[in-house]
Amino acid sequence: MPALQHAVRGYLDHLAVERGLAANTLASYRRDLGRYLDTLASVGVTELASVDPGQVEVHLARLRAGDDGHPPLAASSAARAASAVRGLHRFALREGLAGVDPSRDLRPPAPPRRLPRALPVNDVLKLLEAAGSVAATGDGAPLALRDRALLEFLYGTGARISEAVGVAVDDLDTDTGAVLLRGKGGRNRLVPIGGYAVAALRGYLVRARPGLAAAGRGTPAVFLNARGGPLSRQGAWAILRGAARRAGLPGVGAEAVSPHTLRHSYATHLLDGGADVRVVQELLGHASVTTTQVYTMVTVQRLREVYATAHPRALG
């Protein structure tokens, strides 16, 4: 299927170069479109100009139902796959590879609206206290200082885990309490850092990072691993899991603490404290305020819970 494969490669190049999609998103789209090409091949389609709406619908229905080689996709994953297919056909129409868009009237499944999990402030404090509490002396002290600085940074800035591990020393200004975060789609933003996070970062940068960096080959990354290289997303996740376990917070299932839990907590606590949703949008780096507004639902839900337990006429 050289024509189909050529079209997919062109579309993915367009997403990478012109749209600036993140590597993980591109990898997901590549997998989704690979399965789409398999479906088209199974019915003898060799070019996008020959695809009809029924074949697109059959493909998406198969994704939801699953097959011998793949489990059924959740609504959110099926919606992403539908987005990849629709984007491919729009690209083909724009580039003259097809005369019509067979996915034009397609309505992807709406993913369930799940409220983000946010920790109560007291649980966040437990988590931060637990970070770096193991091996905080002797040879383990540099890593303990790094772990505390990392978690204080995540909660103090609302950074995504990929943004945190990607921060360079030159991006950080502890004198003014600000950091340049490099977000999705090339959208960079300057974010303030809270005083506790600044103190933890200064302690790490002065007392720990130089020793860790000496073991490596020289990297501008702020957060380093024990070998002196940049800390990976997986390494940061392991640090958080360890701290959550020591703090007695949930470690499995939907309630498990993740790097995004701190981001959700950051946003929710700002809104609870009276921050404007547009300000929170800028701090989080959301392209649309619609994405940020889900946090307002979290705070409204909390208000309902308080009302239900505190008002004498709430439960009539």
C-beta separation of 188 from 269 below 8 A = no
| DSSP one-letter code for 168 | B
CB 71 within 8 A of CB 99: no
- Does 266 participate in catalysis according to the annotation? no
Residue 302 catalytic? no
Active-site residue, selected from the candidate residues 148, 209, 263, 269: 263
**99/93 Cα distance (integer angstroms):** 6
Active-site residue (options: 11, 155, 266, 295): 295
126 labelled catalytic: no
Judge whether 202 counts as a catalytic residue.
Answer: no
What are 35's two structure tokens? 């399965």
Q: Which of 59, 148, 160, 269 is catalytic?
A: 160
Known active-site residue 260 = yes
Token couple for 110: 């709406």
Which of the residues 184, 189, 241, 302 is marked catalytic? 184
6 is catalytic: no
Percentages of the chain per state (helix, strand, coil), in multiples of 5: 60, 5, 35
List strands edge to edge, sheet with 178-182.
172-173, 178-182, 188-192
How many CB atoms sit inside 10 A of residue 249's CB?
20
Q: Which residues are catalytic?
A: 160, 184, 260, 263, 286, 295
